[in-house]
Amino acid sequence: MARIVECVPNFSEGRNKEVIEAIVDEVRRVNGVKLLDYSPDEDHNRTVVTFVGDPENVKIAAFNLAKKASELIDMRVHKGGHPRMGATDVMPFIPVSDVAMADCIEIAREVGKRIGEELGIPVYLYEDAASADYRKNLADVRRGQYEGFFDKIRQQEWKPDFGPDEMNAKSGATAVGARVPLVAFNVNLGTSNIEIADKIAKTVRFLGGGLRFVKAMGVKLEERNIVQVSMNLVNYEKTAVYRAYEMVKMEAQRYGVPVVGTEVIGLLPMKALIDCAEYYLQIEDFSIDQVLEKRIVE
């Protein structure tokens, strides 16, 4: 099992189980890819699908998913709490093992071209696959959402990378990209004061002058009567998990608030945690090839 790419498409349907299963079946149907997870969210009316496999089969499954979503989802009647612009809203390709970012960019371009030309859906390349710097950030690409895209698409700077220059009313538009794996990492604080979590979040995140690859916000955990700094680490190789953790802890000290625990949400690559063990244990000259499982997967 040499080369592995991960794909995490998000679809604008989180309530109709038949539709969700029919879409996910497109992953199950392809040999050489493995469905790792799918989590429908009723409030957001959105489903996140995670699958992995060799590059060729991931491309096939990814296109088939987008095709099935374009058949079964109608954006004209979609309502939900999460920002979205299309039936297949966003489709990132992520290098996992023996695959370079350049390969994932190439995959994003190929799949994006097919979605654009064969399905007639405007496609925007984003993150590492973006055709221009201002298109890198998904939030910038998606700003205006489905409803606003009928106008936005007519602006020269928002001409799609692939597909028609007009909005697809039924399927919307799709962002296809390549990126490093996201790590969702939350730090729980020993206080119920949400202002403290908010202030810390603003300090540690990129937007507030904090760490380059950290997005963060304060969240209240009602059941436990504590608050949390909820983070997305968008490049764990450059902004390591331990650095985000230590910075939250350091900022919490000024309020006399302890870190009572942390959470890793969903999946993360082995290296994100092993980098932390290396740091805290002060290991010299460590190679990921010393990890038994890494050698076996090779």
Identify whether the C-beta of residue 197 lies closer than 8 Å to the C-beta of residue 187: no
Q: From the CB of 280, what's the least distance to its own copies, in Å?
A: 4
Binding to its own copies by CB under 8 A, coded x per residue (else -) over 42-81, reads ----------x-----------------------------
Q: What is the distance between the alpha carbons of residues 38 and 20, in angstroms, rounded to a whole number?
A: 9
Binding to its own copies by CB under 8 A, coded x per residue (else -) over 235-254, reads ------xx--x---------
Q: In degrees rounded to 5, what are phi and psi of residue 23?
A: -70, -50
Q: Which span sits near its own copies by CB under 8 A: 57-65, 83-91, 191-199, 264-272?
A: 264-272
Q: Quick one: which of 60, 101, 219, 259 contacts its own copies (CB under 8 A)?
A: 259
Please name the residue that has the structure tokens 């000259």. Answer: 285
Q: Which of these is catalytic: 82, 113, 249, 271? A: 82
Of 146-205, binders to its own copies (CB under 8 A) are 181, 188
Q: Which span sits near its own copies by CB under 8 A: 15-23, 115-123, 168-176, 258-266?
A: 258-266
Give the nearer residue to its own copies in terms of CB position, either 34 or 136. 34
Contacts of 128 (CB under 8 A, 6+ apart): 101, 104, 105, 136, 177, 178, 179, 180
223 binds its own copies (CB under 8 A): no
Q: From the CB of 230, what's the least distance to its own copies, in Å?
A: 14
139 binds its own copies (CB under 8 A): no
Q: From the CB of 183, what's the least distance to its own copies, in Å?
A: 10
Would you put residue 145 in left (φ > 0), alpha (ψ -120 to 50) or beta? left
Q: What is the distance between the alpha carbons of residues 105 and 103, in angstroms, rounded to a whole number?
A: 5
Q: Which residues share a beta bridge with 53? A: 5, 33
Identify whether the C-beta of residue 256 lies closer than 8 Å to the C-beta of residue 232: no
Side chain identity, residue 55: P
Q: Name the token pair of 14.
A: 């989180």
Q: What is the distance between the alpha carbons of residues 228 and 187, in angstroms, rounded to a whole number?
A: 5
Binding to its own copies by CB under 8 A, coded x per residue (else -) over 2-21, reads --x-x---------------
Q: Quick one: which of 16, 57, 97, 145 contacts its own copies (CB under 8 A)?
A: 97
Q: From the CB of 55, what's the least distance to its own copies, in Å?
A: 14
71-109 burial code (b ≥16 CB/10 A, e <16): ebbebeebebeebbbbbbbbbbbbbbbebebebbbbbbb
Q: From the CB of 138, what's the least distance to its own copies, in Å?
A: 21
| Nearest CA among 182, 185, 163, 181 for reference residue 172 | 163
78 is catalytic: no
Give the nearer residue to its own copies in terms of CB position, either 42 or 298. 298
Q: From the CB of 278, what's the least distance to its own copies, in Å?
A: 8
DSSP assigned state of 188: E
Q: Which residues bind its own copies (CB under 8 A)?
A: 1, 4, 6, 34, 36, 52, 96-97, 181, 188, 241-242, 245, 259-264, 266-270, 273-274, 276-278, 280-286, 290-297
Residues designated catalytic: 82
